[in-house]
Structure formats: structure tokens, C-alpha cells
Amino acid sequence: MPKYDLKGRNVLITGASSGIGRGLSRCFAAEGGNLALGCHPSDKAVLESWCAELAGKYGVKVSGFPIDLAEPGGPERMYDSAKSALGKVDVLVNNAGILHYGHFADIPITDHEALIAVNVTAYLKLMRLCLPDMVKAGGGRILNVVSTAAFQPTPWHAAYGASKAFMQSLSEAVNGELRGTGVKVLTFNPSYTRTPLLARGGFPPRVWWFRISGLSDPEDMARKAVKAFKKEKPLHIPLVRNWLVHSILIRAAPRGLINRLSTLVLREER
Ligand SMILES: NC(=O)c1ccc[n+]([C@@H]2O[C@H](COP(=O)([O-])OP(=O)(O)OC[C@H]3O[C@@H](n4cnc5c(N)ncnc54)[C@H](OP(=O)(O)O)[C@@H]3O)[C@@H](O)[C@H]2O)c1
């Protein structure tokens, strides 16, 4: 039974120009939400036409903000832009993300820094910016798109998994602190999904792990995310096989064993 009605809510979504974020923006618009959408400035034209398409199809207010979240002041500009376009932010969807595949020590330090800026600092700052008004209003939701990578180390994209573990811990702890305020922080934790994130980050086309996890469809993941969001699930791992692995098996097995297996199954298959 859905608990949170999205009709007329003001929703800020980062990383809405492609992949899961594009699917999320479609679903939130279909539910009647007014949207402030973000993307990297390189995708300005794509975002502009996506905003026009959503507004025309669903009759909701949609504004686009191509702002680099990795730049100093980027998250603050995103928040201020969304607030002036919508008046207030009822729902924050932290979704923009990047990944770099390879040996940790071979990946340029600037790439590691950018990953932390987008996957961690921008999420944290946007939460910190939105929460005071939400608490004052006695309601509001934050949906952090995290990953199954949050639950164990991810060799060959080590900083990515670490960024997701940070966000999982932060989301759960802040959600606990908010009990009784009417505000909730929820996480959505998909496994590997067919989006530009993997190709751009140099993720190999084949790793053994895909035989278990599969490669999900971003639109399907977005629908599942919004369904879980409306039911106010605090943490949602879509697809039973991935839920079993990441909620049950990985927690029961010795951590050293999981790390050794992860090193093997996440390595490029030739
Ligand atoms: N794909 C997977 O296997 C997978 C699995 C689990 C979780 N996730 C998570 O799902 C979320 C969405 O990823 P996706 O797979 O849908 O990837 P995607 O299609 O590459 O989308 C990433 C979005 O983030 C935006 N972005 C990247 N860097 C940015 C920056 N510096 N400033 C502003 N926006 C920026 C991108 O904008 P541009 O397109 O303009 O660059 C794009 O809109 C991420 O948090 C990711 O970690 C993905």
C-alpha cells in the first residue's frame, strides 16, 4: 500500500540526463511531481529536451540545471536553483554518480577526487542543505541512490564501493536521527545496470559476476525505486537474487573470503 503521495510534490533529482536518473525523472513526473533536474554541463542540450518532453507529456513543471556537482559550490548552486524554480524541495533524489575501473594505484588521483566529490560530497551537501527546511516543515523525503556495492569491498573499482559504503552508513544513521520528525532518508541499492556509468568508467563488458547479478535495465530499476520509495522502504535491493546475495549470504560469510571472491569475480573476463 503506497504511503507517500507524490502528486504536487517538488522533487530535486541529480543525474537526470541518462540511466537510472532519467528513468526516475520519468516516474516522478508520471506521479505528478514537479521537477528540478540536474546533469553535468556537457549534457545541457540532452537535459533541456528531456525537460520539455516530460513537461509536455505529464503536465508538470520541469526545470533543468546543468551544474557540475564536482566543482566547489556546485551542490549549493544546484540546491539554490531548485529552490528558486520550485519554491521548496519536498523530495531530494541524490542519484548522480561516477565510477572508475582499474587498479586503485593506476587511477589518477584527480579521478579519485572527482568520484568522492560527486558520489559522496555532493550527496552529503545536498542532504545537509535540504534537511533543515524539511524538518521545519515536518515532512520530506531523501532518496539516496546507492548500490549493492555498499555492502562489501569492490576490488577493481575500490573507491566506488567505498563511496557507496559511506553513503549507506550516512543514510541509515541520519534516518535514525530523524525519527519522529516526519522526514525520512531512504536508499535504493541496485546491482549492475546497463547505463553509461559502466562504459564511461572503463568497466569491462564481461566480468564473471554478471552471471549471478545480471545487468539490469535502468527504466526497470527506476520503476522499482519509485515503488519502494512510495512504500517508504528504508533500504531496497531490487531483484530477489541480488537481495539474497547482499542481504543474507555476504553478511553470513567471513569477510576475508568475500573479499577474495570479489577480487576474482569482478576481474575482467577475456
Ligand atoms: N549502472 C550501474 O551499474 C549502477 C548500479 C548501482 C548503482 N548505480 C548508481 O546509480 C546512480 C545513477 O547512475 P547510472 O548508472 O544511471 O549512470 P549514468 O547513466 O552515467 O548517469 C549518471 C548521471 O550523473 C550525472 N553526473 C555525473 N557526473 C556529474 C557531475 N560532475 N555533475 C553533475 N552531474 C553528474 C551524469 O550527467 P551527464 O550524463 O551529463 O554526465 C548522469 O546524468 C549512480 O549513483 C550510480 O552509482 C549504478
- Catalytic amino acids? 160, 164
Structure confidence at residue 214 (pLDDT): 94
Structure confidence at residue 3 (pLDDT): 83
Q: How confident is the model at residue 2 (pLDDT cuts 50, 70, 90)?
A: low
Structure confidence at residue 142 (pLDDT): 98
Structure confidence at residue 270 (pLDDT): 84
Q: What spacing in Å lies between the alpha carbon of 254 and ligand 1's midpoint?
A: 31
Q: How confident is the model at residue 38 (pLDDT cuts 50, 70, 90)?
A: very high
Structure confidence at residue 1 (pLDDT): 60
Q: What spacing in Å lies between the alpha carbon of 261 and ligand 1's midpoint?
A: 26
Mean pLDDT of the chain: 97
Domains and CATH numbers, the chain: 10-265 (3.40.50.720)
User: Ligand 1: which residue has its CA nearest to atom 45?
Assistant: 97
Q: Residue type at 77?
A: R
Cβ partners under 8 Å of residue 136, min gap 6: none
- What is the average pLDDT across 172-185? 98
| The pLDDT of residue 36 is above 80 | yes
Q: Is 97 a pocket residue for ligand 1 (Cβ < 6 Å)?
A: yes
Structural contact between residues 111 and 155, judged by C-beta atoms closer than 8 angstroms? no
Cβ partners under 8 Å of residue 189, min gap 6: 146, 147, 148, 150, 151, 168, 235, 236, 237, 238, 246
Among the atoms of ligand 1, which is closest to the Cα of residue 203? 3
